[in-house]
Amino acid sequence: MTVHSFQEHFDKKIDGDVAIEPRDWMPDDYRKTLIRQISQHAHSEIVGMLPEGNWISRAPSLRRKAVLLAKVQDEAGHGLYLYSAAETLGITRDELYEQLHSGKAKYSSIFNYPTLTWADMGAIGWLVDGAAIMNQVPLCRCSYGPYARAMVRVCKEESFHQRQGYEIMLTLANGAPMQKKMAQDALDRWWWPSLMMFGPPDAESGNTEQSMRWRIKRLTNDELRQKFIDVTVEQANILGLTIPDKDLKWNEERGHYDSGAINWDEFWNVVKGNGPCNKQRLDTRKKAWADGQWVRDAAMAHAEKRKARKATAKAA
């Protein structure tokens, strides 16, 4: 087959919604885009463990601690599926970690904000995992098979995470005035960064158009953001909390909520590494990697020894 006919075959599969699998021919740019998106997604899961991990030892009850611990462990699992999916595209795990540690690879802006109170665990589950689900459900139909399949399980777990966050918010919002105040304060701090998670507006998104054509992305950044706003406003009403946007208003004609302007300068500043916790998050990841060196060395030594023992036994 010529490159031209490989391309034609690939295009046909994309147009016919047939999954692309690791051994199939694919254009270089498709491969690169997938490595970029899947690895950023994997890094986000792993870095995303840090703001919540910060509260495991301070959870207000044994039940809350067990639930939060399970959630944070799930995020590690998501990172591992996603790193494995990225590896099927011909990049190694070491290269992926190197890109994270050197600052070359991005991870979600949301995880560069601090978790100041227990209510932040509620707000993260409700809003951050809620936004993640909105973004990831369409990714279950992504054209790349391994990524789409990983997303199915990730989404099931994220929906448990979203509920646990909402339940924390519900408890606080119906608790003492001080607890309700904490919940409102968390919503005030996490609302806008959650909207930024969906990425820049469509007009400024360099990757959306091509990713939609390749059926990697099924909905645009703005479409997903709007869907998230529409469902979340109703959830805030049930909590009796106020979304910190004075321009938020139901638009009968559009059948959607209109909302105020997002501070995109803040978003790009965080993406460029200047958010409140960027340095702390990366330093923590790099330290964890360095501290784990002896484990990797021991595992390699063990594997070498086994290999040598097997070779001796075979020779005997």
Instruction: Summarize as ranges the residues that interact with ligand BYC (CB under 6 A).
Output: 36-37, 40-41, 44-45, 48, 75, 106, 108-109, 128-129, 132, 135, 196-200, 205-208, 211, 217, 221, 271
CB of 48 to ligand BYC, least distance (A): 3
Instruction: Residue 221: count other Cβ atoms within 10 Å of its Cβ.
Output: 21
Amino acid at 106: K
CB of 25 to ligand BYC, least distance (A): 23
CB closer to ligand BYC out of 197 and 236: 197
- Interior angle at CA 68, CA 65 and CA 73, nearest 5: 120
CB closer to ligand BYC out of 20 and 131: 131
Q: Name the residue among 10, 18, 25 with its Cα closest to residue 143.
A: 18
What is the C-alpha R_g of the chain?
Answer: 22
Q: Name the residue among 283, 129, 106, 113 with its Cα closest to residue 207.
A: 106
CB of 52 to ligand BYC, least distance (A): 7
Residue of closest CB approach to ligand BYC? 48
CB closer to ligand BYC out of 72 and 236: 72
C-alpha–C-alpha distance, residues 91 and 76, integer Å: 20
- Backbone torsion region of residue 243, taken as left when φ is above 0, otherwise alpha when ψ lies between -120 and 50, otherwise beta: beta
C-alpha–C-alpha distance, residues 79 and 39, integer Å: 9
| Adjacent-strand bridge partners of 250 | 257
295 neighbors 303 (Cβ within 8 angstroms): no
CB of 290 to ligand BYC, least distance (A): 23
CB of 7 to ligand BYC, least distance (A): 22
CB closer to ligand BYC out of 257 and 267: 267
CB of 312 to ligand BYC, least distance (A): 46
- Which stretch of DSSP H or E encloses residue 256? strand 256-258
250 neighbors 257 (Cβ within 8 angstroms): yes
CB of 72 to ligand BYC, least distance (A): 8
CB closer to ligand BYC out of 243 and 271: 271
Q: What six digits make up the tokens of 73?
A: 């462990």
C-alpha–C-alpha distance, residues 183 and 163, integer Å: 15
CB closer to ligand BYC out of 173 and 196: 196
CB closer to ligand BYC out of 52 and 245: 52
